């Protein structure tokens, strides 16, 4: 298949496919006589794996490290990295929950003052600003 077909099947711009090639993540199977890149089912699966890996938070630089010296997927490395990614995701969830709680508290505080037609006292504002450092 040509690059346009591969792009359509994976919903990936051709420029992105060429970029993956320049990074060494994807290689066309062959080139036709007129120089067009030709891709195989294996290329399609590799591209799908790249996109899936990115959806899990892997960077393009990390993806080659998931393979061993024979270019096969290294199951031990994959499990270890997935566990690390899960830990990172869990930490992000904690941070987002903390941020949501702070936003909720601030909304409640502002509404309580503004509903009485009052501005936030400067001492309260200074306390809130001091908390932003933590």
**Of residues 134 and 3, more confidently modeled:** 3
Residue 34, by phi and psi: left (phi above 0), alpha (psi -120 to 50) or beta? Answer: alpha
Q: Give the per-residue pLDDT at 68.
A: 87
Averaged pLDDT for residues 117-124: 84
Averaged pLDDT for residues 44-69: 93
> Is the full-model pTM beyond 0.95?
no
Averaged pLDDT for residues 84-97: 96
Rounded CA gap, 15 and 110, in Å? 48
Query: Is residue 133 pLDDT above 70, yes or no?
Result: no
Other beta carbons less than 10 A from residue 26's beta carbon:
20
């Amino acid at each position: 298949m040509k690059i346009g077909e591969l792009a359509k099947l994976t919903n990936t711009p051709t420029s992105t496919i060429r970029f993956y090639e320049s990074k060494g993540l994807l290689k066309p199977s062959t080139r036709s006589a007129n120089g067009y890149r030709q891709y195989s089912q294996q290329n399609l699966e590799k591209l799908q794996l790249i996109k899936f890996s990115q959806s899990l938070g892997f960077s393009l630089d990390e993806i080659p490290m998931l393979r061993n010296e024979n270019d096969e997927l290294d199951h031990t490395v994959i499990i270890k990295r997935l566990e690390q990614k899960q830990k990172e995701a869990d930490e992000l969830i904690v941070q987002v929950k903390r941020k949501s709680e702070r936003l909720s508290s601030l909304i409640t505080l502002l509404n309580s003052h503004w509903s009485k037609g009052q501005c936030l006292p400067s001492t309260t504002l200074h306390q809130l600003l001091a908390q932003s450092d933590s």
